[in-house]
Amino acid sequence: MTSASVPAEIEAEEAVLAACMVDPHAYPEVAFLKPEDFYREENGWTFEAISALGERGDAVNQITVASELARKGKLEGAGGPRVPRAPHPRLSNEH
Q: For the residues of 63-82, what is the DSSP string, one character each?
A: HHHHHHHHHTT-TTTTTSS-
Average pLDDT over residues 15-33: 95
pLDDT above 90 for 92? no
Pair 60, 54: CB distance under 8 Å: yes
Give 50-79 pLDDT, tens digit per residue: 999 999 999 999 999 999 999 998 888 888
What whole-number distance in Å separates Cα of residue 14 and Cα of residue 10? Answer: 6
What pTM was computed for the model? 0.77
Average pLDDT over residues 74-95: 62
Long-range contacts of 31-34 (CB under 8 A, 24+ apart): none
Pair 73, 2: CB distance under 8 Å: no
Give 25-42 pLDDT, tens digit per residue: 999 999 999 999 999 999
